[in-house]
Amino acid sequence: MAQEGVELCFPQLLNSSCWKPEPPPSHTVLIYILLSSIFVLTAALNLLVIISISHFRQLHTPTNFLLLSLAVSDFLVGFVLMPVEILLTETCWILGDLMCALYYLLPVTIIIASAGNMVLISIDRYMAICDPLHYPIKVTHKTASVCVFLCWIFSAFYSIILLHDNLKQPGRYNSCKGQCMVSIAGAVDLVVGFIIPITIIIILYMRVFVVAVSQARAIKSHITSDSLKRLTTMKVKKSEIKAARTLGILVLVFLMCYSPYYCVSLTGHDILIGSSTEAFMIFLMYFNSCLNPVIYALFYPWFKKAIRLIVTFQILLPDSHKANLL
């Protein structure tokens, strides 16, 4: 039964309706304003990444195509997931139990796709550093496109499997009408969504780190009598090492933002998505999507140049896609 003076989400369902959330206090409103600014910034920055890589021909490389896929998932986080997450905590869910279960297919797909993109980025850097002679042959635009496509397809199927019970019996985890909660198998999600990708990433980057250190020492102790061809090869490897270092920072930030959420699964409990206790960890995962383009801006000169051309509308000029950004 509802308490006196408390509004119900569905007044016609006195015994089963949830109570409407009370208006947040003033300090909470400031937090929501901050969160709203973050998701606007997240969507805007990642949109700049998407436009940059899509528009400028010089940026059409396999590595940047992987970054483009990551930017798409990050854009969806800022444009869709963050706003809905705030609404879920402060309003009644009026779209029904089935739509609730269907909605959560999106965040699970995006989160798994982000992890998959990180794995692909790590593989790309591993190939570039550890097998530079065969890298241009093995890692092509077509290869990158196929890998990204398979990553998103796998993420979508995985989300359906993970939420199968919720889709089969919508609303089974809701305590009242107007609530939107789903439960996922914490152990399964921990292994597939975190442990396996992180293990692959760590192993590959450990190998990249060893090779990078060896190359750095080789360049430092380079003898002037060596051939010009070998010197040129070393310079190419040095640029690849610099790219690997930047993408390594990207991966490290990803681990820091995603680890707290998945550590809950180590307790052996299933994760109840939609509960207030999970809100902070979920937003920390989402905040990673805002940090990624910031990392690009700090370490990629081409992104700074691309932003300048975009915000000044120079990309509207003829042949702007041929601009020299590297």
Q: Is 27 inside a domain boundary?
A: no
The residues, ordered by sequence, that sit 6+ positions from 310 with a Cβ below 8 Å of its Cβ are 48, 51, 52
Tokens of 52: 């940059």
Q: Is 299 inside a domain boundary?
A: no
Residue 76 buriedness (CB in 10 A; 0-12 / 13-18 / 19+): buried
The residues, ordered by sequence, that sit 6+ positions from 41 with a Cβ below 8 Å of its Cβ are 78, 290
Closest to 112 in 3D by CA, of 171, 37, 65, 163? 163
Q: Is 32 inside a domain boundary?
A: no
Domain that holds residue 127: 62-280
The residues, ordered by sequence, that sit 6+ positions from 268 with a Cβ below 8 Å of its Cβ are 186, 187
Q: Please work out, in degrees rounded to the nearest 5, the angle formed at the alpha carbon of residue 246 by the alpha carbons of 245 and 248.
A: 65
Q: Is 53 inside a domain boundary?
A: no
Q: Is 188 inside a domain boundary?
A: yes
53-109: pLDDT as tens digits? 999 999 999 999 999 999 999 999 999 888 887 777 777 888 888 888 898 899 899
Q: Is the pLDDT of residue 216 over 70?
A: no
Q: Is 126 inside a domain boundary?
A: yes
17-63: pLDDT as tens digits? 888 777 666 666 787 788 888 889 999 999 999 999 999 999 999 99
Higher pLDDT, 226 or 293: 293
State how far the Cα of 52 lies from the Cα of 55, in Å rounded to an integer: 5
CATH number for the domain spanning 219: value is 1.20.1070.10
Number of domains composing the chain: 1
Q: Is 206 inside a domain boundary?
A: yes
How far from each other are the two terminal CA atoms of the chain, in whole angstroms? 66
The pLDDT of residue 117: 93
Q: Is 221 inside a domain boundary?
A: yes
Which residue shows structure tokens 């015994």? 15
